[in-house]
Amino acid sequence: MIDTVTKNYGIDNEFVSYQVTYVNSNRVKSVPLDEANTDYQAIQEWIAEGGVVIDNGGGE
């Protein structure tokens, strides 16, 4: 079960992937922005159900 979703930014400060943590787990997934990726699909469902993505901005 998804706990948090945070936007990842690349060296050019562009949004490149999501960082996902899970409840009661040390598992972390970095999820690409690919509609064929089922983790990406799960994030979109999570957002549709009210999940809020953490956006700390770029700045590397």
Partner 1 sequence: MSYIGSKPADAVLETDDITDGVITTSKLADNSVTTAKTSYFDAPFRNIIINGDYSIFQRGDTVTGVTDQVYSAPDRWKTQIFSTAVFTISKSTDVPSGQGFASSCKWDCTTANASPSATTFMIHEQRIEGQNIQYLEYGTSSAKSLTASFWVKSNKTGAYTVGLYSVDGSRHIESSYTISTANTWEKKIITFAGDTAGTINNDNGEGLRLWFHLGAGSNWSSGTHATTWSDYAQADVLVDNQVNLADSTSNEWLVTGVQLEAGTTASDFEFLPYDVNLRRCYRYYWGWWDKADAGVNATAGGLAVMYTSAILYVSGFFPVTMRATPSLDQASGTNYYTFYRNGAADNFDDFTLQGSGRTNKNGYEMNNSTDISGTAGQAGFIRCNNVNAYIFFDAEL
| Min dist. Cβ of residue 52 to partner 1 (A) | 20
Give just the sign of the alpha carbon dihedral 10, 56, 42, 26.
Answer: positive
| Residues 58 and 17 sit within 8 Å (Cβ to Cβ) | no
For residue 53, the number of C-alpha atoms closer than 13 Å in the C-beta half-sphere is 18
Binding positions for partner 1, 1-60, rule CB under 8 A: 1, 8, 10-11, 14-17, 19, 21, 26-34, 36-40, 60
Minimum gap (Å) between residue 22 Cβ and partner 1: 9
Instruction: Summarize as ranges the residues that interact with partner 1 (CB under 8 A).
Output: 1, 8, 10-11, 14-17, 19, 21, 26-34, 36-40, 60
